[in-house]
Chains A and B, each alone.
Chain A
Amino acid sequence: MSIADTLWHFPSAMMAWRNLGRNRMRTALAALGIVIGVVAIASLGMAGVAIQQQATSNLGSLTNQVSVSAGQDSDYDGVTDDQVEEIRSLLTNAQAIPQKTNSTTVSSRGKEAYVSVTGVTDANALYDVTEGTAPERLQTGALISNSTAQQLGLELGDPVEYDGHLYRIAGLIDSSSGFGPGGGRGELVIPISGLADQQYYDSVTITADDGDAASNIANRLDEHFNSEGHEDEEILRVSSYANVQGQISSFMNTLQLALLGIGGISLIVASVAILNVMLMSTVERRGEIGVLRAVGIRRGEVLRMILTEAALLGTLGGLVGALAALAVGAMMFHVLVGDASAALQWSSARYLVYGFAFAVFASVLSGIYPAWKAANDSPVEALRG
């Protein structure tokens, strides 16, 4: 039994398929309209996701962090132990990690690198270690940024010197993440005792659950230290990236809506094209449909046949369009995020599903009127032509 014979068990599908095959050029052009619509809607949607991911990955993990340092009206040139305690007493679900920072030149095997030095105890809460381990409490070892380690030919277990003390490298960290302290410069993280000659902390990093929590904490701290009783003083400088993130994501939402709108319009144009094609082909086949009705094919069956035709057209165009959009999306993710396969994540791949579903839906919708018109035509009138 051939495919055609098997298909014949689904007469509507069979007839629809054969009808589409009759005028391949017209079918292809109608499907092309749908393809363009789907590519527009899906790749614009995915572009939005890619841009958003790029933006958030540039901000790194900083969006849920609040950074506190001494303000211009502070009596101290740093954050004091008392202030750290005070900050901690104001936090419920977040961790406050005081740091002391400095910079120095690290040398090894005749090579030198200028790095920023951070003294911190809870290192594992602040840094992502790519190799080795960040101990719960940093007391003897050191962490060093990958790039610096490479530059100096240092490996795990090698010693580095700072201020007359030697520290063994316990882990390597990613130095390029975000605009963190040190920026693009290399970084050396040592126990806080190594910077004991600095009396105060340079900064306190507070890590909250998410961006919203971080901006709440920032507001609370700002209010507590800077406006209570004394007007407009800046005892502590409180900064968070959460509001930056908020602005970016609201901009992204607008952008995404605009992109989807453009895609939607192109699909509407495509469905008008399908409406036109279906209407033309049913008018052309008026006599044939009259014959079908004369030999006893029911109105519902004629209706189903033409709707199936429209649905097939939409499915065909939708599939090709989704594939093309996937290619476009993979390219955008490759360029913007550096990972083409990220296009397959549900957050972006869902636009392929939306585009496809919209294509089938719009095609069937455009098929309803021509199908209804053809099915309800009087057979005598149709046969007279």
Chain B
Amino acid sequence: MSVIELHDVVKRYESGAQTVTALKGVDFHADRGEMVTIIGPSGSGKSTMLNMIGLLDTPTAGTVLLDDRDVTDFTEDELTEERRTNLGFVFQDFHLLPMLTAVENVELPSVWDTSVDRRDRAIDLLKRVGLGDRLDHTPDELSGGQQQRVAIARSLINGPDILLADEPTGNLDQDTGQTILEEVTRLKQEENIAVVAVTHDEQMLEYTDRTVRIVDGVIQQ
């Protein structure tokens, strides 16, 4: 059963007189335990599509189903709630908060909830990505690969169904990228989550279960 589905999704950007149609009727789905990679040339709409899947943006037309629920017309506050509980994000630039330690960064998405064991879960997640000895380090004391692993731990803190990653290896060297991908693959199986990633990175295709190619806002079969 698909945990996320896009049906005939269109996204248009209107800026002044110009209209850009970034997505021209896209269908997509991802299942639990599956890693789907979206590839395509620059400007083809990969990030736009990931934003739709990640409920960060709403489509101009079409339907978005999360766990079979139609979330297309959700308000911003409802979408925020879904992102918090069901989605995890990993970014190309890691995007950790510089004034927080590793463990605080991991806790961050849950910190406004009064859950009791989040510190334990954060420490557990950091150990699982091999950072058990870096809990109280701030991002500037960590390497790029370590920062990305903190970001991965952060994305899993609320026990999401889907992990979204926009070029997660884009700022890492070959070897580091590889360990990150191995980490993600392992966690995908352990947590039984869907991973949807956007990449330019050829080596990522070795880890992926399925590849979706998009060109000029249209999925290529």
Contact = CB atoms under 8 A, between A and B. Distances in A.
Interface of A: 5, 8, 11, 18-19, 21-22, 287-288, 291-299, 301, 378-380, 383
Contacts of B77: 298-299
B112 A295 contact: no
Contacts of A21: 99
Interface in B65-121: 76-77, 80-81, 83-85, 87-89, 91, 95, 97-100, 104, 107-109, 111-112, 119
Contacts of A380: 51, 56-57
B146 interface: no
Given A295-B154, A379-B56, 17 more contacts: A8-B104, A8-B111, A18-B99, A22-B98, A288-B97, A291-B89, A291-B95, A292-B108, A294-B83, A294-B89, A296-B83, A296-B85, A297-B80, A297-B109, A298-B84, A299-B77, A299-B80
Contacts of A294: 54, 56, 83, 89
A296 B95 contact: no
Contacts of A287: 95
Counting chain B CB atoms within 10 Å of each CB, which of A18, A19, A287, A295 scores highest? A295
B148 interface: no
B3 to A, nearest CB: 17
The 8 closest A-B pairs by CB, nearest first: A296-B84, A18-B99, A295-B109, A296-B83, A291-B95, A11-B111, A380-B57, A301-B112
A296 B109 contact: yes
Interface of B: 51, 54, 56-57, 76-77, 80-81, 83-85, 87-89, 91, 95, 97-100, 104, 107-109, 111-112, 119, 154-155, 158
A139 B185 CA distance: 110
Contacts of A296: 80-81, 83-85, 87, 109, 158
25 contacts: A8-B104, A8-B107, A11-B112, A288-B97, A291-B91, A291-B95, A291-B97, A293-B80, A294-B54, A294-B89, A295-B84, A296-B81, A296-B83, A296-B85, A296-B109, A296-B158, A297-B108, A298-B77, A298-B84, A299-B76, A299-B77, A378-B57, A380-B51, A383-B56, A383-B95
B112 A298 contact: yes
Given A11-B112, A291-B91, A378-B57, A298 B80 contact: yes
A113 B139 CA distance: 85
A349 to B, nearest CB: 37
Nearest to B114: A9
Contacts of B87: 296
B132 to A, nearest CB: 18
Given A291-B95, A297-B109, A297-B112, A18 B100 contact: yes
Contacts of B108: 292, 295, 297
Contacts of B56: 294, 379-380, 383
A78 B99 CA distance: 86
A301 B76 CA distance: 14
A295 to B, nearest CB: 4
Contact of B83 (A5, A18, A295): A295
Q: DSSP majority for the A interface?
A: helix
Contacts of B57: 378, 380
Nearest to A17: B99
A232 B77 CA distance: 84
Nearest to B57: A380
B99 A19 contact: yes
A22 B89 contact: no
B56 to A, nearest CB: 5
Nearest to B158: A296
Nearest to A292: B108
Contacts of A11: 111-112
Contacts of B85: 296
Contacts of A299: 76-77, 80
A28 B87 CA distance: 39
Contacts of B83: 294-296
B89 A295 contact: yes
A287 B94 CA distance: 11
Contacts of A293: 80
Nearest to A23: B99
B85 to A, nearest CB: 7
A21 B98 CA distance: 11
Contacts of B111: 8, 11
A272 to B, nearest CB: 26
